[in-house]
Structures are given as C-alpha cells and as structure tokens.
C-alpha cells in the first residue's frame, strides 16, 4: 500500500501543514514531525500540561524518496550526526567540538535528496544521551542500548514540498492532559533512569568504543568494531 496514516499531537488543530512553519533546529531540520503511534501522539499533544489534539492524516508515499534511519542500513551514529548538524549542543570541551566535526563529516546523511525522513526522536531526556556520547562520557554500546531500552519511538518527518502536497488531513480529536501528561512524564522518567543505569554500567566496559576512540583511530561507519557493537 502506498498510503500511510500519520499522527501529529499538538495544542491545536492543523488542517493544512505548512512547510514554511517549523523550527530549523529540530532533530532533522525544518519539517512536519509526525508519528504512527497514537499513544505517542497523545503524549506529545499534552507535553506542556495542557489539553491538546491528535491530528490524523493520510500520506500517499508513491514516488516519494524516504530515508529510514531505522531500517538496519544505518546506525545510531548516522542519527547522532544529523542531531549534531541541526540541534544545538553544549560542547564544553575540545573533544566534543572535534567529535561533532568528525561525526558530521563521516557519518552524516545527505537529507536534501529526500522527501520524508523516518528516525528516532530526541526529546530532552534522549538528547542528553547524544550530548554525553559526544563529550566522551557515554560509550557506543551504552548509547545504543539506552535508545532501545528507553522506548525512544520513531517519528516520520515531511521535509519537502512534494511530501507536503501529498498529505491530507482526515480528522482531529481532543486529548485529556489529566491522562496523557502523566504518561509523558513517565516516559521521560524511564528514559532518565535508563540513562543513569547505562552510565553506571559503562564504567566496566573494556571492549566498548568511546568517541575518543573514533577520533584517534578515525573509525568509519563500516568499521567491523562499530558494526559489532551496533548489531550485537
């Protein structure tokens, strides 16, 4: 099937998504950020502790170029590279600055040729993982495991006018903050707990890879050591 259902949780109804409205410093740059999970969309709708709406859309994907960062052909480092490119990081050391430049150069994916991007989302709690990795505080295995165990969730992002022309609003329904704001907080708490656990475990990892190792040995995406950790 060429048609998929997308959901967007927010504090108001959006019948006509606009490519010109959006934040250039979101995970994958300016775009319309959606999910295919109804529960996730409802949490997003109430994340400011206000009642919200879940907007439903149909997207005709025929002829669209889709970049799927979770399809097994890409690694968490490709995801980190895009975050480094678009999001604002606190780079408090020379190592972090060098890591940002190296990862963007060697692990980034050219998103300009795509209409839709599918990938992990990076709410504040998950963004902390990325910052810690780039600062040499969290090794690759811990980063990879934390993202999986923390139930990060996927988002589908429309990034081209062609994609915006294909999306059709179907309906919207209200979301109660009394139900979904606590769920949003619980997901965030779980993510932070997982982060602390992985930080504690990372102290005993002798065969792991830190960002300093990537810089020193100029490791690339297809390096067997990286592949072993990512796909173990």
How far apart are the C-alpha atoms of 125 and 207, rounded to whole Å?
A: 26
Q: Per-residue pLDDT averaged across 115-126, rounded?
A: 83
Q: Is the CA virtual torsion 120, 168, 2, 62 positive or negative?
A: negative
pLDDT for 195: 66
pLDDT for 205: 63
- Report residue 211 as tokens: 């960002």
> Is residue 174 classed as helix, strand or coil in its secondary structure?
strand
Domain with 76, as residue range(s), is: 3-230
Residue 98 has pLDDT above 80, yes or no: yes
pLDDT for 167: 96
Residue 137 has pLDDT above 70, yes or no: yes
pLDDT for 179: 95
Q: Per-residue pLDDT averaged across 108-135, rounded?
A: 86
Query: Degrees (nearest 5) of the Cα angle 48, 158, 23?
Result: 45
The tally of domains found in the chain comes to 1
Share of the chain above pLDDT 90, in %: 51
203 secondary structure, DSSP code: T
Report the predicted TM-score, pTM, of the whole model to 2 decimal places.
0.88
pLDDT for 152: 61
Residue of 22, 20, 51, 49 lying closest to 34 (CA atoms) = 22
pLDDT 10s digits, 159-218 = 999 999 999 999 999 999 999 999 988 877 777 777 677 666 655 566 789 999 999 999
pLDDT for 161: 96
Share of the chain above pLDDT 70, in %: 91
pLDDT for 59: 97
pLDDT for 1: 61
């Amino acid at each position: 099937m060429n048609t998929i259902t997308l959901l967007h949780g927010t504090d108001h109804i959006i019948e006509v998504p606009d490519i010109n409205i959006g934040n250039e410093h979101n995970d994958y740059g300016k775009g319309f950020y959606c999910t295919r999970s109804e529960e996730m969309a409802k949490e997003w709708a109430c994340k400011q502790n206000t009642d919200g709406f879940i907007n439903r859309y149909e997207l005709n994907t025929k002829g669209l170029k889709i970049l799927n960062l979770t399809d097994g052909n890409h690694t968490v480092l490709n995801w980190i590279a895009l975050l480094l490119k678009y999001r604002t990081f606190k780079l408090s050391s020379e190592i972090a600055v060098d890591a940002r430049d190296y990862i963007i150069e060697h692990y980034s994916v050219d998103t300009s040729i795509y209409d839709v991007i599918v990938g992990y989302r990076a709410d504040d709690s998950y963004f902390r993982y990325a910052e810690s990795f780039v600062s040499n505080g969290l090794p690759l295995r811990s980063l990879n495991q934390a993202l999986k165990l923390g139930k990060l969730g996927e988002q589908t992002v429309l990034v081209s006018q062609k994609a915006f022309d294909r999306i059709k609003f179907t309906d919207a329904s209200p979301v109660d903050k009394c139900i979904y704001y606590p769920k949003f907080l619980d997901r965030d708490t779980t993510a932070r707990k997982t982060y602390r656990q992985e930080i504690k475990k990372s102290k005993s990892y002798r065969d792991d890879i830190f960002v300093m190792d990537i810089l020193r040995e100029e490791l690339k995406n297809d390096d067997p050591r990286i592949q072993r950790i990512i796909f173990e």
